[in-house]
């Protein structure tokens, strides 16, 4: 039997042990956006590893099978809960700006660079943190070695895997990003032909890189020949930008990269507790702020007109999103670099003043950011508005719980789909374009005491939307979830949270239900309804009611205006009564759940997954 046939058989056998949602298991569950990556995590759990070990294996495998979304050339946020000590914390491996970065580097002539050019030049590449973050988590809280967790990814890169429709679509509709640099084109467009669904993708250079890291540790990435190759690769520019588009990262920037261990942002909603990502991500703050606004309304009470998908419910959600995103645009950045008014933005009295702006029967005028400073004890000052470029919908998220009750909720990315489009020559992995998450035009103003919360600065982390989340009841974790989707990540997490708490859905129902998203104060509405699994639908009558209230981008009256696809949630659930674990995955991508236990023992894991 050929190697390809054997791998195909392995994956077919794997399907017997996976689905979008599985029966309860006491021994651990993995929920991931790709079956081969889910298999890698299950392999660690089946071999006696914990959730941190499994998360490492999943992340490395995703570098192979979802290279357009995440990998060792990027960064992310790993939210961890340790059952034994009841500790919850975050491993922040967000990319950082190099030491030579400057506030005006995306506007050297006083005008912002065009995003398509800037984002595919080396100037956009931040110092990668994923590998250092994963290794830090393994060293402190894992039970497996780095080499153990790299093994499934090495096998996938060496032996190959079948290209799914999502990867094929991202190659076909790449905006030119897999064609700009020859090393990237050679992998994903061999001979000038884009890989199609069903093609077999083998990545020998990536396998060699992962083997090198397995043998020598993370310093093989952050120092030496590979580090020199990264620095050289990010010196590429676009001809239209000239020398201004060259990256500024040095060997010293790579060698000095450090992760941050952070405490989660904790908030409450109708008797439940949520732990999420603090700055430099805007995800946790914005989700909690929207929940604080919505707690002033009887969501879930169908008798008062606030059932799932009703005009009142959707209108109130839209207005809460608009208010929170107005605050997000002004106030949130890397508070390691400048203080932010976290306390004020979430203060009940401040949220009450903002919630009072929501009218139940009509759309408010575009809201301005509020002033939380009277409710805040920090030294934050009111910044000036600034413009940031678009955020990519392509990131990846996965969730894991192990037999001991340890939980991981992990979101990682290389920023825009295909990152900078630059594959490190000879090493087979893509570099991020994360620095485009900074303001292109600097907002700092010394005369006004404005620190420029999201301006580029040396060693600074750009603002993110990633929102890995843990939901607690009575101090115990009951669910972990998150999503890709750029700024829509925040609203996807909000939709799922409301579905669980206010609308009484199971996790799988909460994930499958159609979503609604607004990411600007101006209030352009995106909503779902194009897929049969998205139930219950937002009716045309409901859409017409929203149109009459003044909500934009829903099309003509009487038409189906909800045709978007928003996010891709992967989640695990812990049943406190029985101690069993469940998983739920999103059909919007190739979401896969694997339970570990009687149906998937260690021998089966080794047998079934390449």
469 within a domain of the structure (yes/no): no
Q: Do residues 207 and 154 lie in contact, with contact meaning Cβ atoms separated by under 8 Å?
A: yes
Catalytic-role residue among 395, 396, 411, 488:
395
Does residue 257 belong to any structural domain of this protein?
A: yes
User: What integer is the mean pLDDT of 376-392?
Assistant: 66
Residues in Cβ contact with 266 at an 8 Å cutoff, skipping those fewer than 6 apart = 273, 274, 275, 276
610 vs 188, higher pLDDT: 188
Q: Is the pLDDT of residue 608 over 50?
A: no
Q: Express each pLDDT in 105-126 by its tens digit.
A: 999 999 999 999 999 999 999 9
Instruction: Give the mean pLDDT of 167-179.
Output: 95
In a domain, 350, yes or no: no
The pLDDT score that the predictor gives to residue 394 is: 66
Domain count, the chain: 1
| Domain around 404 | 28-261+395-456+585-596
Give the 3-state secondary structure of 375-430: HCCCCCCCCCCCCCCCCCCCCEEEEEEECCCCEEEEEEECCCCCCCCCECCCCCCE
What pLDDT shows up at residue 380?
77
pLDDT at 338: 72
Instruction: Please provide the average confidence, as pLDDT, over all residues in the chain.
Output: 90
| Position 393 confidence tier, pLDDT thresholds 50, 70, 90 | low
pLDDT at residue 10 greater than cutoff 60:
no
Closest CA to 459 of 243, 252, 229, 223: 252
Residues annotated in a binding site: 94, 437, 464-465, 486
Q: What is the pLDDT of residue 137?
A: 98
Cα separation of the two ends of the chain: 14
Which residues, in sequence order, are CB contacts of 182 under 8 Å at separation 6+? none
Among 487, 150, 453, 97, which Cα is nearest to 322's?
Answer: 487
Residue 274 falls inside a structural domain: no
Q: What pLDDT is stored for residue 454 in this prediction?
A: 84
For residue 139, pLDDT beyond 90: yes
Treating both helix axes as pointing N-terminal to C-terminal, what angle do 51-65 and 130-141 enclose, rounded to 10 degrees? 160
**Average pLDDT score over residue span 85-113:** 96
pLDDT of res. 326: 93
**SS3 (DSSP) at 509:** helix
pLDDT at residue 7, rounded to an integer: 43
Rounded mean pLDDT, 215-221: 98
Residue 308 in domain: no
Q: Considering the domain boundaries, does residue 530 fall inside one?
A: no
441 assigned to some structural domain: yes
pLDDT of 15 higher than 60: no
Name the binding residues for L-glutamate. 94, 437, 464-465, 486
Q: Is 209 a catalytic residue?
A: no
Stretch 584-606: mean pLDDT, rounded?
A: 67
Does the predicted model carry a pTM greater than 0.85?
yes
Residue 434 falls inside a structural domain: yes
């Amino acid at each position: 039997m050929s190697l390809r046939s054997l791998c195909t058989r392995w994956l077919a056998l794997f399907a017997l042990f996976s689905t979008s949602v599985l029966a309860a298991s006491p021994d651990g569950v993995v929920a991931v956006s790709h079956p081969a990556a889910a298999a890698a995590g299950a392999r660690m759990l089946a071999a006696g590893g914990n959730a941190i070990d499994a998360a490492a294996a999943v992340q490395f495998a995703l570098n192979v099978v979802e290279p357009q979304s995440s990998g060792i050339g990027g960064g992310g946020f790993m939210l961890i809960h340790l059952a034994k000590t009841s500790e919850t914390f975050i491993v922040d491996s967000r990319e950082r700006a190099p030491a030579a970065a400057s506030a005006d580097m995306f506007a050297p002539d006083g005008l912002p660079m065009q995003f398509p050019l800037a984002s595919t030049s080396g100037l956009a590449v931040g110092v990668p943190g994923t590998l250092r973050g994963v290794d830090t988590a393994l060293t402190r809280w894992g039970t497996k070695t780095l080499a153990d967790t790299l093994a499934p990814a090495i096998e996938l890169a060496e032996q190959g895997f079948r290209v799914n429709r999502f990867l094929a679509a991202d190659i076909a509709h790449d905006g030119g990003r897999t064609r700009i640099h020859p090393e990237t084109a050679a992998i994903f467009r061999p001979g000038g032909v884009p890989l199609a669904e069903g093609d077999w993708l083998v990545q020998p250079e990536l396998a060699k890189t992962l083997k090198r890291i397995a043998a020598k540790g993370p310093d093989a990435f952050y120092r030496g020949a590979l580090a020199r190759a990264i620095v050289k690769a990010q010196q590429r520019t676009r001809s239209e930008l000239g020398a201004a588009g060259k990256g500024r990262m040095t060997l010293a920037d790579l060698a000095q990269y450090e992760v941050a261990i952070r405490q989660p942002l904790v908030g409450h909603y109708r008797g439940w507790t949520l732990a999420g990502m603090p700055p430099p991500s805007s995800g946790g703050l914005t989700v909690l702020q929207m929940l604080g606004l919505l707690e002033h309304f009887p969501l879930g009470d169908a008798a008062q007109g606030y059932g799932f998908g009703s005009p009142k419910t959707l209108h109130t959600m839209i207005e809460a999103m608009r208010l929170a995103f107005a605050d997000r645009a002004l106030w949130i950045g890397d508070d390691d670099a400048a203080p932010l008014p976290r306390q004020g933005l979430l203060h009940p009295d401040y949220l009450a003043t903002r919630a009072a702006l929501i009218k139940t029967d009509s759309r408010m005028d575009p809201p301005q950011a509020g002033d939380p400073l009277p409710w805040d004890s920090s030294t934050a000052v009111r910044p000036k508005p600034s413009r940031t470029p678009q955020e990519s919908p392509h990131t990846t998220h996965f969730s894991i719980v192990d037999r001991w009750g340890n939980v991981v909720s992990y979101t990682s990315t290389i920023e825009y789909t295909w990152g900078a489009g630059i594959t490190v020559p000879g090493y087979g992995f893509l570099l991020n374009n994360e620095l485009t998450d900074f303001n292109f035009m600097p907002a700092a103003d010394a005369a006004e005491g404005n620190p420029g919360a999201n301006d580029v600065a040396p060693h600074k982390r750009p603002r993110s939307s990633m929102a890995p989340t843990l939901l607690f009841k009575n101090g115990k974790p009951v669910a972990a979830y998150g999503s890709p989707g750029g700024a829509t990540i925040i609203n996807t997490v909000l939709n799922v949270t409301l579905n669980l708490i206010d609308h009484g859905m199971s996790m799988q129902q909460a994930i499958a239900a159609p979503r609604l998203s607004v990411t600007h104060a101006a209030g352009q509405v995106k909503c779902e309804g194009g897929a049969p699994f998205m139930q219950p639908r937002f009716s045309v009558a409901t859409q017409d009611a929203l149109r009459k209230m003044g909500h934009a981008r829903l099309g003509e009256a009487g038409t189906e205006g909800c045709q978007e696809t928003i996010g891709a949630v992967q989640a695990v659930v812990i049943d406190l009564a029985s101690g069993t674990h469940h998983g739920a995955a999103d059909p919007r991508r190739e979401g896969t759940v694997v339970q570990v236990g009687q149906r998937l023992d260690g021998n089966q894991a080794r047998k079934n997954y390449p």
